[in-house]
Amino acid sequence: MEKLDKADKKIIAILQQDCSLHKKEIADKIGLSLTATYERIKRLEKVGVIEGYTAKINKEKIGKSLVAYCTVSLQLHSKPLLVNFESKIAQLDEVMECAHTTGTFDYLLKVVVKDMKEYQDFLTNKLADIENISLVQSSFVMKEVIDQSVFVL
In terms of domains, do 133 and 68 share one?
Answer: yes
Contact 52, 16 (CB under 8 A): no
pLDDT attached to residue 136 = 97
In terms of domains, do 66 and 104 share one?
Answer: yes
User: Per-residue pLDDT tens for 11-24?
Assistant: 999 999 999 999 99
Distance of CA 64 to the CA centre of its chain: 16
pLDDT attached to residue 147 = 87
Contact 73, 134 (CB under 8 A): yes
pLDDT attached to residue 59 = 94
pLDDT attached to residue 58 = 94
For residue 151, the 8-state DSSP code is P
pLDDT attached to residue 24 = 97
In terms of domains, do 65 and 122 share one?
Answer: yes
* Residue 129: C-alpha distances to residues 8, 40, 111, 123, 125 (Å): 45, 46, 16, 9, 6
Position 51 in a domain: no
In terms of domains, do 87 and 20 share one?
Answer: no
Position 153 in a domain: no
In terms of domains, do 65 and 102 share one?
Answer: yes
Provide Rg for the chain, Cα atoms: 20
- Assign 1 a pLDDT band (cuts: 50, 70, 90): confident
User: Per-residue pLDDT tens for 69-126?
Assistant: 999 999 999 999 999 999 999 999 999 999 999 999 999 999 999 999 999 999 999 9
Measure the CA–CA gap between 93 and 91, rounded to whole angstroms. 6
Position 33 in a domain: yes
Range of the domain at 25: 6-46
Number of domains within the chain: 2
pLDDT attached to residue 71 = 98
In terms of domains, do 129 and 69 share one?
Answer: yes
In terms of domains, do 67 and 131 share one?
Answer: yes
Burial class (CB in 10 A: 0-12, 13-18, 19+), 94: buried
- Assign 148 a pLDDT band (cuts: 50, 70, 90): confident
Position 124 in a domain: yes
Measure the CA–CA gap between 103 and 149, rounded to whole angstroms. 25
Phi, psi (deg, nearest 5) at residue 61: -70, -15
Q: What CATH number does residue 132 fall under?
A: 3.30.70.920
User: Per-residue pLDDT tens for 38-60?
Assistant: 999 999 999 999 999 999 999 99
pLDDT attached to residue 84 = 97
Position 149 in a domain: no
